[in-house]
Structures are given as C-alpha cells and as structure tokens.
Chain A
Amino acid sequence: MQYFVQQLINGLTLGSIYGLIAIGYTMVYGIIGMINFAHGDIFMIGAFTALIVFLILGAVFYSVPVVIALLVMMIVAMLLTSLYNWTIEKVAYRPLRGSFRLAPLITAIGMSIALSNFVQVTQGPRNKPIPPMVSQVYNIGGISVSLKQIIIVIVTVSLLAIFWYVVNRTSLGRAQRACEQDRKMAALLGIDVDRTISITFIMGAALAAVAGTLFLMYYGVVVFSDGFVPGVKAFTAAVLGGIGSIPGAVVGGLMIGFIESMWSAYFSIDYKDVAAFSILAIVLIFLPSGILGRPEVEKV
C-alpha cells in the first residue's frame, strides 16, 4: 500500500509536468487546429534557458535563496520561451494559416528539428547536469515525499488556477474561446484574431517554460534532445484527454504520469513508454475523441 501511494505521488509529479506541456498543445490545437510539433522543443528551450539563468545566478551571486532562484529562472524562461513561440508562430505558421492543413504540420516538424539542432549547435550535444537545488525529503508514514515534488505540484496547481481564471473569466479568454469556435465570425465581431492567436502561443510557451524549469529542478539534467520524448508524451496526454479541451490536457497528463510510474513500479521499466502509447491507442479505439473531448459529429 505504501509502495502504491509512493508511486501515486511519483505519478502525480510526472503527470503535472506533462499536463503543463500538454496545455500548450491543446490550446494551439483548439484555436488553429494544428499540431504544434515544435512545442516539445519549446519546452526544452525553456529548460535550457532556466539552466543558463541558474548558472548566471551561481556565477554572479555567491548564494541565492532557492525560492528566489527558482522564481527568477521561471520568469526569465517564461519570457524568452514565449518570445521563441511568438516568433515561430509569426514566421512559420501564420503565412500558412488557412491554406493546406498539412503545410503547418510540416513547418512545425521542421521547426522542431531546427530548434533541437540549434541548441545542439550552440550548447553542445552533451548532458548538462546541475547540482541538486532542493534536496529535502520528508517522510510521512513511511512514504517519502521530496520537497521537489511538493514544489512541482504547488506550482502546477497555482498555475492551473490562474490559467483557468484567464480562460474562463477574462475578455482575453473569451476572445480565445470565440476564435476557437469560429475564427471568421470572431474577426467580424471585432476580435483581433492574430493577436489572440499570438497570445495563445505565448501562454502555451510560458507554461512549457515553467514545466522546463521544474523538469530541470526535478531531474537536475537537461540535454538538447529532451524536447522529443516529453513532447510526444505530453501530446499523447493532450490527445488522451481530448485534444482542444484544457481540463482534458491536465487529466491526460496525470493519466500518462500514473501509467508510467505504476508500470515501472509493478511491471518493467523498459516497457513503460510502450504501455503509455498502448493505452493511448486503446482509449482512442473506444473513445475516438479522447476522454473529455467533444465527439466529432459526422454531418451528412
């Protein structure tokens, strides 16, 4: 039982990170109907930015309180990562909006390849380890919970709350939802569609940057190719939850996190990704629009 709860906590931590990345996929999909394949690499850029900020802080100030260090890392990572996503949208996706559906998918894949190789070229191909930032571990009734895990869950929950407020209670969120429903009509009603889409990309990137910072803090290492696997997992999470649905992305992220930690704990760690992908396939066969997705109506 203790072991199970332990795995549940590990799954929750992992799932939080996936969920944060998955929101970026699902929002972009919701608003312009494309798979932003570069999003995983945006996450990686976020992690790298956080890494460099961490090193700057270490080099300039001798010692910085962990909370402040994390906060500064997160904020700088959010700013720069958002700038990346904003630029990518403007350069690679906007010219193709409204044309052929596969064209932006290909530019997104191209951007994904370019971003990871850009980081490989500029930062080198090796693993980048950092000394552990927080190492406290609490023991509650035989279950060890690390401070890192607590930070991850708290940051995720508070970000989701802010995010939920923005999407559901502000005029920006209303504009986003309107664009999601009918972009042309939204434009006719005076919504600046371009700006709304840009902001959506910025929001997605900001969440991915936070996920990147948390990832760096949790694992203490990052490498240029780290965008792919978490990216694909998060995308899987978004689809599992029902792509286009923000609560779905969180639910999907948590599910993937739980599946992975449980599978590694009880079966074989080698096949944890196989399990995650197989469960995706099985869920989609029975629920073709994911868990919380709106069913696609076949209009005849």
Chain B
Amino acid sequence: MEYTVPMPDPILKVEHLSMKFGGLVAIGDLSFEARRGDITALIGPNGAGKTTVFNCITGFYKPTEGMITMARRDGSAYLLERLPGHEITARARVARTFQNIRLFSGMTLLENLLVAQHNKLMKASGYTILGLVGIGGYRRASAEAIDLAKFWLEKADLIDRADDPAGDLPYGAQRRLEIARAMCTGPELLCLDEPAAGLNPRESHALNALLNDIKDHTGTSILLIEHDMSVVMEISDHVVVLEYGRKISDGDPTSVKSDPKVIAAYLGVEDEEIVEVLTEVGDDRVIEELDAEPDRDHGPPDSASMLAGPVTDTIAHSDDEERVSVMRGASKAERIEEREARDRAAGISGQPDDKRGGGE
C-alpha cells in the first residue's frame, strides 16, 4: 500500500517518549506519528510496552520524558502529557478502551452510553442546578443524547439489548459496547487496547466492520494495540512495532509484515527459528549459512544454548541511562540486527540487501 494521496498533518505525534517505573524502563525514547483518518496499529510481543504507551497518551501515566501532541481538526493542539487525565477526553478528544474491559456492569447499555456524554449533558443541565428545577434545555439535550446512544447501539448491533445490564452481555458484545461508549464522547482519536482479544472469528469480523465503519463515516482516527495479526493486516493503514519499549519498525502493513526483525520479535521465535524465518523471508545469506558451520572467528559463538537468554531479567534496571538495555539474546530483533552486522563485517555476502523488509 503506497501513500500517493497527499497526507494531512499527523493527528498524534509522539516524540521521544520515555516512561520509567523506578529503575525499570518500560518505554525508551519512542517516537511515532499517527495520521489523521488512518487506523494506526501498535503491535509487539507481550511486555513490549504497548499498553504503557496508551496509558501515557490517555493520561493514566505521566511520562518521564517526551512530548505527545494531539492536533485537533479545528487546528488546536494539546500537549497530552500536561493535561489532567479527564481533560484528555473532554478537551483533546482522545477516547480509549481497555484491555480488560471496563464497563459499568451494573448499568444498562443505554446508561453506559449516556455516562459517556457526561460533559455535554452537564453543560446542558446548567451544571445540574438548572436541570434540577427544570429550566433550560436539559430535556432536549437529554433526548439528543439518547438519540446518539441509539445511533451507536445500532452501529454496534446492540440495540436489542439496550435495557440490559452491561455485565450481562457476552464478551464480544462487551467489546463492541466499550467502543460504542468511547465513540459517544465524540472523539477525534480513538485508542483501542486489544479490541480483538478473546473474540471468536465471527465476533472478530463484526468488530472489523465496526472499526471500518467508524473510520469511513465519522472521520475518527484510530490507534489500536493488537495481537491478532489478521486484524492488524486487514484493517490498519499504518503499523508501528515495539519491542522492549523501543520502536523496531514503522510502516505500512505489508512492509512491516516482511521485516525480519518484526517477525523475529513479534513471533518471539527461538534461535533456530530465526533462521527458518529468514529462510521464509528469503534471505539468501541465511540459506547459504544454513549449511555452513558457525563462524567462530567472527562474533560470539552462535549456538542456541548461548543465545537463549534467561526469561527473567530481560530488561535491565537502569537509573542513569535512558536507553532500554536488554539482556543479550532477549531481544529477537536486536539479534537479527547483530547477525546482519556480523555478516556484513565478515563479508559472507556481497549482495545488496534487496530482499530485506522495508522497515528500516
């Protein structure tokens, strides 16, 4: 997929974002952009820091360093890391959903969507006081709010269950309701944290339809975290890949898909499988190397046992360093980089890297 159309300005710009918890560096110097009108996917293996990025964007964490700029359609820009949590939704128009669904389970679907329109209704009810005595346009605003809720319930295919408690819904429907609820806040950027997790194929399909509908008809840009590659490939326009809090790839789905670093990192492959992966991708040098003995003169020994680093302690605790330092052998993407560097140094192959992914 090529971007031939002139791209509008990015809706969300993340620059040099770092997040440390004590000595643990969850995100290190991350920069990326999400374009207006696009579905941008944030992917990466478990523990890559995706949700942490989300929490920084939506104000649940205050980042240690960096700048997150949200550019609204009307031209106003907000530095999200400086806004109080609730104002990110109220003023900067960024809405989110949660990995472990957070619905108001004792309230009905309709009520869930009405709560989402809180700020608008508060104003209409004259901050409760006028509404309490029955003056002002609260009645009309309330009817409009119900109409908007109805609209989104229909979009999410939940209109029949509008008066049931949200906690009574099946899992997939709860996911869709959470998205509908976020949409009721009138967002310009919708952040979805693993919307397809735990869905069966049919529910997953319904979700894709809803997301495409949102993108096409409301002009809301979407930023999503996803594990399910089929969802990512099917709906996203742009993919950012994280590993250990660091960006390892950034581009359109097809290019990211074939980036060996991404494959290694994302699939979390074993040492020997990296070779297989590279073979699949069609890296000639690897194919050559497959039959060769490990080259002991160059670089460290390459045996699986040495490189299979311990599962724990993979992220170093650094106090003075901002960079994520990863235990040797833990970051699969780094190992691909290393291997390439070593190969280049050893001059195993003089051919240009024409078949490697476009993610660099």
Contact = CB atoms under 8 A, between A and B. Distances in A.
Interface of A: 298, 300
5 contacts: A298-B60, A300-B51, A300-B55, A300-B60, A300-B98
B5 to A, nearest CB: 36
Interface string B55-89: 10000100000000000000000000000000000
A298 B98 CA distance: 13
Contacts of A300: 51, 55, 60, 98
Nearest to B96: A300
A298 B59 CA distance: 13
B53 to A, nearest CB: 12
Contacts of A298: 60
A6 B51 CA distance: 56
Interface residues of B, number: 4
Contacts of B55: 300
A298 B60 CA distance: 9
A200 to B, nearest CB: 31
Chain A contact residues: helix, strand, loop or mixed: loop
Contacts of B51: 300
Contacts of B98: 300
A296 to B, nearest CB: 15
A300 B60 CA distance: 8
A185 to B, nearest CB: 19
A300 B102 CA distance: 9
A271 to B, nearest CB: 37
A300 B55 CA distance: 8
The 5 A-B pairs at the shortest CB distance, nearest first, are namely A300-B60, A300-B55, A300-B98, A300-B51, A298-B60
B272 to A, nearest CB: 36
Nearest to B51: A300
Nearest to B58: A300
A295 to B, nearest CB: 12
B27 to A, nearest CB: 15
A99 to B, nearest CB: 15
A142 to B, nearest CB: 49
A297 to B, nearest CB: 10
Interface in B94-134: 98
A298 B55 CA distance: 12
A300 B85 CA distance: 13
A300 B58 CA distance: 11
Nearest to B100: A299
A298 B62 CA distance: 13
Nearest to B54: A300
A202 to B, nearest CB: 37
A280 B60 CA distance: 28
Nearest to A299: B100
A232 B51 CA distance: 42
Nearest to B99: A300
A300 B52 CA distance: 9
B232 to A, nearest CB: 22
Interface in B12-69: 51, 55, 60
Contacts of B60: 298, 300
Nearest to B98: A300
A16 B42 CA distance: 56
Nearest to B60: A300
Nearest to A298: B60
Interface string B216-235: 00000000000000000000
Nearest to A297: B21
Nearest to A300: B60
A300 B98 CA distance: 7
B329 to A, nearest CB: 30
Interface in B296-330: none
A101 to B, nearest CB: 14
A192 to B, nearest CB: 31
A210 to B, nearest CB: 40
A270 to B, nearest CB: 41
B64 to A, nearest CB: 17
A254 B80 CA distance: 45
A100 to B, nearest CB: 12
A300 B59 CA distance: 11
A298 B51 CA distance: 14
A300 B96 CA distance: 11
A42 to B, nearest CB: 35
